[in-house]
Structure formats: structure tokens, C-alpha cells
């Protein structure tokens, strides 16, 4: 085919009303690409309004996928192709399309009333807004109905198949195989033969139509990526997090308990864990955030790997109970899937603004361990690590994720879990192995300062815990000023000693140079790509990505000293940069963004080049 172009990677963005099936369409495209051997990264973009008026910009839902023949770290900066189902989708997303990119547009949706409803003052198909783009106008609604005219379904149901019509077109344009989606449709609609037949017919009709316009539209081929051999599956961050907790439960030999209250974007961890009762997992949907964490504390005190999940607003409500768990000196994992704030803020958008909340958002001096996941497939490892550190150090751990990581998907090479995640050595006592005459629940390991874990009801190991301050020697209630000073110091030192039980910090690039970029959390992918691009240009730039935030690895200060300048990009107003400068006095530069969107590689490269050029 003479108009076939082979390219390394493509970014496609599907966009329409929240009822148009954009998440489903994008998921099927990404699954197909993964099955064809491409590396992928995705970015689902949900509307915040549950029932926004149809056809308005508030109700636009999107799904962006970046797939390629090389390693993919981000969903891409600007899209090569925008599939817009209505004027609102075009209005919201046109700025995210490369100049010269392709727009596949549902022309049936561009009536005067719908154009006005989207907030246009004039028709974008006629006013010059789309000059410089390759426009494919297709009456998707009417052509879908025509393709399904002989199927016994009502018109509304037939129109809902239009996403598969558009999917069929994009499959043809990018040489995607339909087999994966055909199998999915057959399985999904097996109990509804009419819908099954309609969706199959719509997708095939879309592919056939795209074939008829090949003389004016180039088609593209993206070869398989060269990846490490192994068994892979596509996974999103919340699912990966849930599975990491399951593995930690098995490695510790403990039942898992999740006490949670639904909140965007953390709810899917609850949904996923609730599927696995056969692994001894108990999930409890509480009536509010406070009840959720308190049930988890009860489960943890009584011998479970205890977890509670939420987002920033819910973590605020859990604050006093987190302090209670710190006072108990008990294992508990708190997951914060960050979203835009403050208050309700941007509930479906991503942000990194809860770092200060994680570090300082409780009354009193109440230190806890903090770790952060960087990518969807990294969530498995960091959920396991959060569990391991909580159980081995008898103190709460907060795992920071974010909406970008939680909802994004990428291929995950399934690890040899028995080799990599074998045993967690928790501190639970065996009553038969304890000298009960000389035992005290507050007695500590002299090296780690960790107390024993005795379960209430163990004969001879009865003890009482509570939120009031405890005597260092007996564990009884104490109001002695010197004792309170001692207990606060011990709780802090216990967390500080975790640095002996985490890996040293690694650096991507040279160990010294002109600029060190420090990242944490879900910004890793775009920052890594920006740094890698500058390294290829000969710039002396390196990346230090932090997964362990409190405490930090012991060598972080030495790494920082080897660079002339330090820059910290964050999706907040400058939180980690404040911590870095307070700890290491390195005059790190802040680069911040709070738009509810991830960093673009291009804007990061510009910021790093500016940092290098400044005197």
C-alpha cells in the first residue's frame, strides 16, 4: 500500500460525552495495541460532573493512548489524532492536538444547536479554526444506523454503537488487528445477541468505510516493541496497588483487611480487593472516612495486615485516627490517591499537593513513614513495600499515589513473586515462645526501637493501649513532661531508623553534573523522558526519583552535593522543593504546575534548559 507510513509511536485521543463510551473505546484500543506487542501508556480523563448536560464542555470525557515500538513512559504530550464525537469534545481537546494532526470528526453532531451548546460563537468547521489540520468528516451517527438497519434494536441502542464504528475506523488507519476486541464483544454481550451483533457490525463497518478513504488519508504502522521476554498484562495503578497488598498479605502470612469509604480516584482499590475473598481478604465499605480507618485500626491491633484507602479530603478526616495508630505503634497502611484540591477541588484530575499533608497533617509530633508510587506497574511494588515497612517497624505508613497513576495503564511484566517478594518478618509474638514473667508490651528492640506485636486475648500477654501518652518503661498512662519528651523522641527515631531498611538512592545518568532533577510520584515518566532527551543532546543532566520520602535514603544528601544546580518539578505549588531545601540547603529551583494535568515533556525540557542557562 503506497500510502502506508511506518512510524515509531502514535498518540490518539478519543473524546466525547461521558455516555459515548470513550473509556471503553480507549481501553479496547490500548488492549489491542498491547496484544500486538506495542509498549503503551494511557491517560483516562474523566469529567468531574456526574450528570453534566449532554453536549456541554463540562461533560466531555476523554481517553488518550500513546503506543509505540520503543519504551513508552507517558501518554504523550500532544495527540497525533483526535477522535471528536461532538463540538464540545473538539472545543476542549483541539489545543491538545499537534498542528497538522488528524481530526476524525462526527459531522452528524455539528448542528447549529449543538455547536452553540458547546460554547462556540460560530461553526468551527467553517470559521477557520481547523486550518492546518487534516480533517476527516464522517457522519458517524447516520452511518452507524445504516450499518445496523437490519438488526432488531431501537434507534437509541443502535446509536450507542457509534463508538465501535469509530474504533473500527482507527483500527484500519493504524493497522490494528480487530481480533482482541471481537473476542471481547462476544464475551461481553453473550447474553444479548442483538447488541452483540450490532457492535460487531458497527466496528467492521467503520473499518470498511476507512478503507474507502485510503486514497486521501495515510495509514500508519507501528511495529512491535522490543521488550524483555516474559508474561505481560495490561494493568492500571489501582489494580496494581490492590495486587501488591495481596502479595504482602501472603508474604507476611496474615489476613488482609481493608476499611474504606468510596472516593474518587481511590475507590477501585476497594472494588478490586473485594474480588479476592479466597485469599483471606476482608473488605469493609464504611459509612464514612473516620469509621473506615477506625475499623482498619481494630483489624490491625487484632492481627491483620490493615489498610485504609482514600484521597486528600478523606485523609483530612482520618487525621486524628492516624495519630491514634502512631500512638498505638501499630502497623497500618494508609493509601492517599491524590487529586486536585483544596476541599473537593478537581475530583477527577491529578495533583501532588498532599505531600505536606502526609508529612505534617496531624496534631502533635506524629511522624510516619511515607512512600510514593511512580507508575501504574510500580504501584504493586510500593504497595508491597508500604506493607513490609509497616509490619516490620510497627508504625503506620502512607502510600502516595495520584489520579494520573491510579487510572493510567501500561504493560506489566508479571514478576516472580516468590523470588522477589518472599517473606515479611513481622513482629507478632507466639505466646508459646515468650517469657511472660518478664514481658512488657512497650519493650523495644534496641536496634530498631520497634515494640512487640501482641494480639489482645493472647494468654499472659494482655495489655492496654490508647491515645493517651504512655510511660516509656511500663506502657501505662503518663502525664510526666520528661516522659512525653522521651516518647516523642523515640517515635521520631523509630521512623528515622527505617533508612537502614530501604535501598540507597539511585541516579539515572552521571553521578555528578550541571543539573540534578529531583522527582517523586507520578511525574516520573514525563520527567524521565525530558531528562533522557537532554542527555542525548549532550547536556550534563541527571535524574534522582524518590520513592522513599520519609525517611529518605541515607545517601540523598551526598547525591545532591555532586551537582551544581538542583530543580524539583512538581504538580503543586512547591512542596518537595521546600522539604529538599530545608533538609539539604541546596537552593533547589522549583518548577510547578497545578492545572489538574500531568507535565508535558516539552515544557519540562524548556524548564531544565532555562535552569542550565541561568547564572
Q: Does residue 166 share a domain with residue 39?
A: yes
Q: Flag whether 292 is in a domain.
A: yes
Backbone angles phi, psi at 578, to 5 degrees: -65, -45
Q: Flag whether 228 is in a domain.
A: no
Q: Does residue 166 share a domain with residue 29?
A: yes
Task: Give the H or E element holding residue 34.
Answer: helix 22-35
Place of cell 551526598: 558
Among residues 501, 529, 556, the one where a domain terminates is: 501
| Helix, strand or coil, per DSSP, at residue 517 | strand
Q: Does residue 549 share a domain with residue 448?
A: no
Predicted pLDDT of residue 432: 86
Say how far apart CA 372 and CA 385 lie, in whole Å.
10
Predicted pLDDT of residue 582: 97
| Helix, strand or coil, per DSSP, at residue 48 | coil
Predicted pLDDT of residue 90: 97
Place of cell 489501582: 238
Largest CA distance in the chain: 88
Q: Does residue 171 share a domain with residue 240?
A: no
Alpha carbon distances (Å) from 289 to 262, 309, 336, 402, 557: 9, 9, 12, 18, 37
In 491-512, which positions are buried (b, 16+ CB within 10 angstroms) versus exposed (e)?
beebbebbbeebeebebbbeee
Q: Flag whether 491 is in a domain.
A: yes
Adjacent-strand bridge partners of 467: none
Give how far the C-alpha of residue 365 lies from the chain's centroid of Cα atoms, to the nearest Å. 30
Q: Does residue 141 share a domain with residue 37?
A: yes
CA angle 127, 133, 135 (to 5 degrees): 80
Alpha carbon distances (Å) from 567 to 353, 374, 433, 438, 614: 17, 18, 52, 53, 12
Give the structural domain span for 281: 233-420
Instruction: Find out whether 546 and 552 touch, Cβ atoms under 8 Å.
Output: yes
In 253-290, which positions are buried (b, 16+ CB within 10 angstroms) versus exposed (e)?
ebbbbbbbbebbbbbbbbebbbebeeebbebbebeebb
Q: Does residue 523 share a domain with residue 475?
A: no
Contacts 24+ apart (CB under 8 A), 463-467: 465/301, 465/327, 465/328, 465/330, 465/441, 466/327, 467/323, 467/324, 467/327
Say how far apart CA 564 and CA 512 lie, in whole Å.
8
Among residues 501, 526, 544, the one where a domain terminates is: 501
| 8-state DSSP, 85 | S
Q: Does residue 535 share a domain with residue 490?
A: no
Alpha carbon distances (Å) from 175 to 14, 26, 223, 247, 444: 17, 16, 10, 38, 63
pTM of the prediction?
0.93
Q: Flag whether 507 is in a domain.
A: no
Task: Give the H or E element holding residue 310.
Answer: strand 305-310
Say how far apart CA 483 and CA 277 lie, in whole Å.
44
In 373-383, which positions are buried (b, 16+ CB within 10 angstroms) versus exposed (e)?
bbbbbbbbbbb
Handedness of CA 451, 448, 496, 245 (dihedral sign): negative
Give the model confidence (pLDDT) of 284-297 as tens digits: 999 999 999 999 99
What does 451-475 look like in DSSP terms, one character per residue? BPBPPTT-TT------SS-B-TTT-
Backbone angles phi, psi at 225, to 5 degrees: -80, 150
Q: What's the CATH code of the domain at 544? A: 3.40.50.920
Task: Give the H or E element holding residue 483.
Answer: helix 481-496
pLDDT below 70 — which residues of the chain?
A: 1-3, 214-218, 615
| Helix, strand or coil, per DSSP, at residue 417 | helix
Instruction: Find out whether 609 and 534 touch, Cβ atoms under 8 Å.
Output: yes
Q: Does residue 90 share a domain with residue 172?
A: yes
Query: What sections of 329-448 are H helices per DSSP?
Result: 355-360, 378-393, 403-407, 417-420
Q: What's the CATH code of the domain at 42? A: 3.40.920.10
Adjacent-strand bridge partners of 543: 508, 517
Q: Does residue 493 share a domain with residue 539?
A: no
| 8-state DSSP, 321 | H
Say how far apart CA 73 and CA 263 lie, in whole Å.
27
Q: Does residue 317 share a domain with residue 183?
A: no
Q: Flag whether 204 is in a domain.
A: yes
Ordered strands of the 563-570 beta sheet: 541-546, 513-520, 563-570, 589-592
Q: What's the CATH code of the domain at 392? A: 3.40.50.970
CA angle 581, 584, 590 (to 5 degrees): 25
Place of cell 508479571: 414
| 8-state DSSP, 346 | B
Q: Flag whether 227 is in a domain.
A: no
Q: Does residue 586 share a domain with residue 490?
A: no
Q: Flag whether 426 is in a domain.
A: no
Closest CA to 279 of 254, 259, 308: 254
Say how far apart CA 361 and CA 293 lie, in whole Å.
16
Q: Flag whether 492 is in a domain.
A: yes
Domain count, the chain: 4
Say how far apart CA 235 and CA 411 lie, in whole Å.
6
What does 568-612 look like in DSSP terms, one character per residue? EEESSSSSHHHHHHHHH---PEEEE--SSSPPPHHHHHHHHHHHH
Task: Give the H or E element holding residue 199.
Answer: helix 193-212
Predicted pLDDT of residue 533: 96
What does 548-562 look like in DSSP terms, one character per residue? EEESPPTTHHHHHHT
Handedness of CA 4, 6, 7, 10 (dihedral sign): positive
Q: Does residue 302 share a domain with residue 174?
A: no
Among residues 472, 501, 530, the one where a domain terminates is: 501
Amino acid at each position: 500500500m503506497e500510502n502506508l507510513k511506518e512510524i515509531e509511536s502514535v498518540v490518539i485521543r478519543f473524546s466525547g460525552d461521558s455516555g459515548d463510551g470513550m473509556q471503553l473505546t480507549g481501553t479496547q484500543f490500548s488492549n489491542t495495541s498491547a496484544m500486538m506487542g506495542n509498549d503503551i501508556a494511557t491517560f483516562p480523563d474523566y469529567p468531574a460532573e456526574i450528570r453534566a448536560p449532554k453536549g456541554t464542555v463540562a461533560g466531555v470525557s476523554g481517553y488518550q493512548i500513546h503506543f509505540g515500538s520503543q519504551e513508552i513512559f507517558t501518554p504523550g504530550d500532544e495527540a497525533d489524532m483526535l477522535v471528536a464525537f461532538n463540538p464540545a469534545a473538539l472545543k476542549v481537546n483541539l489545543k491538545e492536538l499537534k498542528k497538522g494532526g488528524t481530526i476524525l470528526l462526527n459531522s452528524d453532531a455539528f448542528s447549529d444547536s449543538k455547536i452553540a451548546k458547546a460554547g462556540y460563537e460560530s461553526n468551527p468547521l467553517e470559521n477557520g479554526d481547523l486550518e492546518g489540520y487534516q480533517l476527516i468528516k464522517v457522519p458517524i451517527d447516520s452511518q452507524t444506523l445504516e450499518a445496523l438497519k437490519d438488526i432488531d434494536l431501537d434507534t437509541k441502542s443502535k446509536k450507542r454503537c457509534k463508538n465501535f464504528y469509530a474504533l473500527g475506523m482507527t483500527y484500519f488507519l493504524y493497522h490494528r488487528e480487530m481480533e482482541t476486541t471481537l473476542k471481547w464483544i462476544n464475551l461481553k454481550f453473550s447474553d444479548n445477541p442483538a447488541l452483540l451483533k450490532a457492535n460487531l457490525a458497527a466496528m467492521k463497518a467503520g473499518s470498511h468505510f476507512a478503507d474507502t478513504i485510503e486514497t486521501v488519508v495515510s495509514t500508519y504502522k507501528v511495529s512491535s516493541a522490543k521488550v524483555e521476554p516474559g508474561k505481560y498484562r495490561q494493568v492500571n495503578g489501582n489494580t496494581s496497588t490492590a495486587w501488591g497488598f495481596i502479595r504482602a498479605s501472603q508474604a507476611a502470612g496474615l489476613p488482609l483487611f481493608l476499611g474504606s469509604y468510596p472516593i474518587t480516584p481511590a475507590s477501585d482499590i476497594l472494588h478490586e480487593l473485594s474480588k479476592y475473598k479466597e485469599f483471606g481478604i476482608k473488605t469493609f465499605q464504611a459509612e464514612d472516612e473516620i469509621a473506615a480507618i477506625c475499623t482498619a485500626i481494630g483489624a490491625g491491633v487484632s492481627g491483620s495486615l490493615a489498610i485504609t484507602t482514600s484521597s486528600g479530603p478523606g485523609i483530612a478526616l482520618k487525621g486524628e485516627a492516624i495519630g491514634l495508630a502512631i500512638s498505638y505503634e501499630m502497623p497500618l497502611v494508609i493509601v492517599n490517591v491524590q487529586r486536585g484540591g483544596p476541599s473537593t477541588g478537581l475530583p477527577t484530575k491529578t495533583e501532588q499537593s498532599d505531600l505536606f499533608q502526609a508529612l505534617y497533617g496531624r496534631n502533635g509530633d506524629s511522624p510516619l513513614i511515607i512512600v510514593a508510587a511512580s507508575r501504574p506497574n510500580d504501584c504493586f511494588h510500593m504497595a508491597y513495600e508500604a506493607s513490609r515497612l509497616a509490619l516490620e517497624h510497627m508504625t503506620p505508613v502512607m502510600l502516595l499515589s495520584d489520579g494520573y497513576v491510579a487510572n493510567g495503564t501500561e504493560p506489566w511484566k508479571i514478576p516472580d513473586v516468590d523470588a522477589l517478594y518472599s517473606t515479611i518478618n513481622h513482629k507478632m509474638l507466639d505466646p508459646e515462645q515468650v517469657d511472660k514473667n518478664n514481658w512488657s508490651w512497650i519493650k523495644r528492640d534496641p536496634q530498631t526501637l520497634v515494640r512487640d506485636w501482641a494480639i489482645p486475648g493472647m494468654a499472659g500477654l494482655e495489655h492496654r493501649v490508647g491515645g493517651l501518652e504512655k510511660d516509656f518503661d511500663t506502657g501505662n498512662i503518663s502525664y510526666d513532661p520528661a516522659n512525653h519528651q522521651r516518647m516523642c523522641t523515640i517515635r521520631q527515631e523509630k521512623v528515622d531508623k527505617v533508612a537502614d531498611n530501604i535501598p540507597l538512592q539511585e541516579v539515572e545518568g552521571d553521578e555528578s553534573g550541571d543539573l540534578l532533577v529531583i522527582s517523586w510520584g507520578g511525574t516520573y515518566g514525563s520527567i524521565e523522558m525530558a531528562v533522557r532527551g537532554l542527555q542525548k543532546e549532550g547536556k550534563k543532566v541527571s535524574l534522582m526519583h524518590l520513592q522513599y520520602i520519609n525517611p529518605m535514603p541515607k545517601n540523598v544528601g551526598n547525591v545532591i552535593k555532586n551537582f551544581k544546580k538542583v530543580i524539583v518539578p512538581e504538580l503543586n505549588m512547591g512542596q518537595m522543593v521546600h522539604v529538599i531545601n530545608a533538609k539539604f540547603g541546596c537552593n533547589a529551583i522549583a518548577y510547578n504546575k497545578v492545572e489538574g494535568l500531568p507535565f508535558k515533556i516539552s515544557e519540562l525540557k524548556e524548564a531544565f534548559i532555562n535552569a542550565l542557562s541561568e547564572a
